[in-house]
Amino acid sequence: MAVEIRVFNIKALPYTARFGLGSTAPVKRWARFVLTDKGDLYWTRAIHVRKDVDSSNIHISIHESGEIFSSRYGVREGVLSKEASRLVGSMGSPFREITSPHQVEYGNELLERGYLYVGLPTLTEKNKKTDTQNDFVACLDELLVNSRLYYSLDLVPWTGEDEITAYLMTKRNQVFAENDPRCHVFIFCWESVSAVVTMRFTDGEDPIDMQRIAEADMHAHPLKRLFHP
């Protein structure tokens, strides 16, 4: 089996795509991709992880000017507040005008039991809503528990699947693997450019347990997530 590639054509702005993780069906919220009507792009991963204390998500924003910022948000006394924001790069032009590919972010997450069952929120039907301005992306993996999720976000000046796949094959990291069914590529096409989210799972022990999710949701309690530099 080969890598999964899915293409989403953005027809209207603002546009939002939400990502759900699961083994046989998406059950946990993980990331969100937003393109505003002004041309700003927002990429948020690890959404609301243990949001009662410390940090709740890491947020990448690409302004219409081409400047790229990384921000961390935290929750204190039930209020989401911006804790830190720093300039991490610049594309030199707005997203819609780029002429060469640009990798915005690359990293990995260990989907250990506490993070997966307790840290990530359980999906609701509201999160899965789709229409002309919203898409829902299910990223499934059989051995999700204790797997390592590698991910990247790239902005490219193409909308063709062949061109984008050829570019991903040139990257020297652990995300893209052409013949790996545990690798997933999601292409969001807008006008003549695309945002490309690549996700790949390695290792892992078990499928996600729906009974354990129900128990964790029923007995929710404060936890802290450790962020590593």
Tens-place pLDDT, residues 111-139: 999 888 888 889 988 888 888 899 999 99
Return the amino acid letter for 205: E
- Cβ atoms of 62 and 91 closer than 8 Å: yes
Phi/psi of residue 77, each to 5°? 55, 40
Regions in the chain scoring below 50 on pLDDT:
51-55, 75-80, 225-229
Nearest to 182 by CA among 20, 8, 23, 7: 23
Number of Cβ within 10 Å of residue 171's Cβ equals 15
Q: H helices within the chain, ranges in order?
A: 113, 161-170, 210-218
Strand 4-9 to 183-190 pairing? parallel
Token pair of 152, please?
Answer: 């990247």
Token pair of 94, please?
Answer: 């707005």
Radius of gyration of the chain (CA): 17
Rounded to whole angstroms, the Cα distance separating 34 from 189 reads: 13
Token pair of 192, please?
Answer: 């003549």
Where in 122-192 does DSSP place strands (E)? Answer: 134-140, 145-156, 183-190
Output the pTM of the full model: 0.87
Give the per-residue pLDDT at 124. Answer: 86
Give the per-residue pLDDT at 176. Answer: 93
Rounded to whole angstroms, the Cα distance separating 149 from 126 reads: 25
Give the per-residue pLDDT at 53. Answer: 44
Contact partners, residue 44, CB within 8 Å, separation at least 6: 31, 32, 34, 57, 58, 59, 60
